[in-house]
Amino acid sequence: MNYIGSKLSLLQFLEESINKVVDKNCHVFCDLFAGTGIVGSYFKRKGYRIIANDIQYYSYVLNRHYIGNHKELPFLKLTKEISELKNIEINNRKNFVCSYLSNLKGAKGFIYKNYCVGGTKNKNEERQYFSDENGMRCDAIRQKVENWKKEKLITDNEYYFLLATLIETIDKRANTASIYGAFLKQLKKTAQTPFVLKPAELIMNDQEHQVFNEDINNIASKIEGDILYLDPPYNHRQYATNYHILETVAKYDNPKIHGKTGLRDYQNQKSLYCSKSQVKKAFRDLILKAKAKYIFLSYNNEGIMTFNDIKEIMSLRGKYGYFTKEYNRFKADKSENRNYIASKTLEYLHYVVCR
Ligand SMILES: C[S@@+](CC[C@H](N)C(=O)[O-])C[C@H]1O[C@@H](n2cnc3c(N)ncnc32)[C@H](O)[C@@H]1O
């Protein structure tokens, strides 16, 4: 997913830097602003036990699958509804269930009615976040998955695998410049193509991983690990508004929505890390209560906390240091080809070896 602040292209830098600091006796890696789960997934592959957390529910869903799932998903009970599954090898069942869902007849549900032209045409706000066909497909799949869960035809692990798969797939077909703060006037090419579910990767690592969906400042003191990796928002851009439709696809809770973009209420997901006046206090509180041998923080030179703020706060816990890397700025849509004044930023990995 092209996610604001994604660390996909910094994974090697993170690993090499972290390995220069930590001792060999580190087994538990905490990724508590987990986003897409790409960092936790990377360290899960390296054999760590992962504890992941994020305030957004779509992120919880992604992490609940990429981090929480580590055994094959056999869809045993679903054979009651899809009898052909019995003849499919266990490790091919994910594919089979995804193609079964991809072939469902579309449904005019919440996504179609509120975020597609067909469903919003004669309403106050016409919206085109998805093609009509993809909106109806998304609704049909989302409703089916929820029914399977209610009827206990799928386990929680299977449920989150299917939701993570739907979120990843639908995001690639959204008619946006990658975030949901606005939609494009014309349906772009990728949005015109009807989607087919592509099974989200299942990462094997047989440890007791944990995944939470909390405000980090409420949960940090209850989580203990060797390495605590922090990747908060860097600026005022709230994830709750930029990814509101993914939140609704994940929750599918018929929220009240308003305005041009059909925004859901996000009062209890407003991040203090996006507020210039509140971020330092929140960060200080977090650093002081964190339970880890090492704390690492990703941040860049354009973030709302200054280098000195961070150094001063992290030094409260022990020996402070940092690594840097030049990095390409987040671009909403690569095809837009905008001319940025400075297209590179300096990415920092601050750390403290806790006393
Ligand atoms: C920079 S992104 C993390 C990106 C992630 N490392 C990745 O590569 O995908 C910051 C994340 O912090 C989450 N977040 C913001 N405030 C939070 C809070 N108070 N508690 C927990 N998560 C929070 C956002 O929802 C967002 O997913």
pLDDT digits (tens, 9 = 90+) for 234-250: 999 999 999 999 999 99
- Location of structure tokens 């600026």: 235
With a pLDDT cut of 90, the percent of the chain lying above it is 94
Write the CA distances from 87 to 73, 92, 100, 199, integer angstroms: 15, 10, 14, 19
pLDDT tens, position by position, 195-209: 999 999 999 998 999
Q: What is the mean pLDDT of residues 180-209?
A: 96
- Residue 329: its pLDDT value, please? 76
**pLDDT at residue 315 tops 80:** yes
Q: Which of 29, 168, 237, 239 to mutate to test the pocket of ligand 1 (most atoms within 8 A of CB)?
A: 239
Ligand 1 atom closest to residue 232's alpha carbon, by position in its atom list: 10
Report how far ligand 1's centroid is from the alpha carbon of 106 (Å).
33
Residues having CB within 6 Å of any atom of ligand 1: 3, 5-7, 33, 35-36, 38-39, 53-56, 59, 215-216, 231-233, 239, 271, 273
Q: How far apart are CA 189 and CA 130, in angstroms?
A: 11
Q: What is the mean pLDDT of residues 39-53?
A: 98
Angle at 171 between CA 49 and CA 125, to 5 degrees: 135
Using CA positions, which residue lies closest to atom 12 of ligand 1? 33
**pLDDT at residue 13 tops 70:** yes
Confidence of residue 35 (pLDDT cuts 50, 70, 90): very high
User: Which pair of structure tokens corresponds to residue 48?
Assistant: 């760590």
Q: What is the mean pLDDT of residues 224-233?
A: 98
Report how far ligand 1's centroid is from the alpha carbon of 33 (Å).
4
**pLDDT at residue 348 tops 90:** yes
Using CA positions, which residue lies closest to atom 13 of ligand 1? 33
Report how far ligand 1's centroid is from the alpha carbon of 132 (Å).
31
**pLDDT at residue 42 tops 70:** yes
Q: What is the mean pLDDT of residues 297-303?
A: 96
Q: How far apart are CA 223 and CA 216, in angstroms?
A: 10
Report how far ligand 1's centroid is from the alpha carbon of 77 (Å).
35
Confidence of residue 343 (pLDDT cuts 50, 70, 90): confident
- Residue 111: its pLDDT value, please? 98
**pLDDT at residue 337 tops 50:** no
Report how far ligand 1's centroid is from the alpha carbon of 164 (Å).
17
**pLDDT at residue 339 tops 60:** no
Average pLDDT, the chain: 96
Confidence of residue 336 (pLDDT cuts 50, 70, 90): very low
Q: Which of 2, 30, 54, 60 to mutate to test the pocket of ligand 1 (most atoms within 8 A of CB)?
A: 54
Q: What is the mean pLDDT of residues 102-112?
A: 98
Q: What is the mean pLDDT of residues 326-343?
A: 62
**pLDDT at residue 330 tops 90:** no
With a pLDDT cut of 70, the percent of the chain lying above it is 96
Output the pTM of the full model.
Answer: 0.96
Listed residue (40, 355, 353, 4) closest to 178, CA to CA? 4
Ligand 1 atom closest to residue 3's alpha carbon, by position in its atom list: 9
Report how far ligand 1's centroid is from the alpha carbon of 101 (Å).
30
Report how far ligand 1's centroid is from the alpha carbon of 92 (Å).
33
**pLDDT at residue 229 tops 80:** yes
Report how far ligand 1's centroid is from the alpha carbon of 211 (Å).
14
Using CA positions, which residue lies closest to atom 27 of ligand 1? 35
Using CA positions, which residue lies closest to atom 5 of ligand 1? 35
Q: How far apart are CA 331 and CA 343, in angstroms?
A: 9
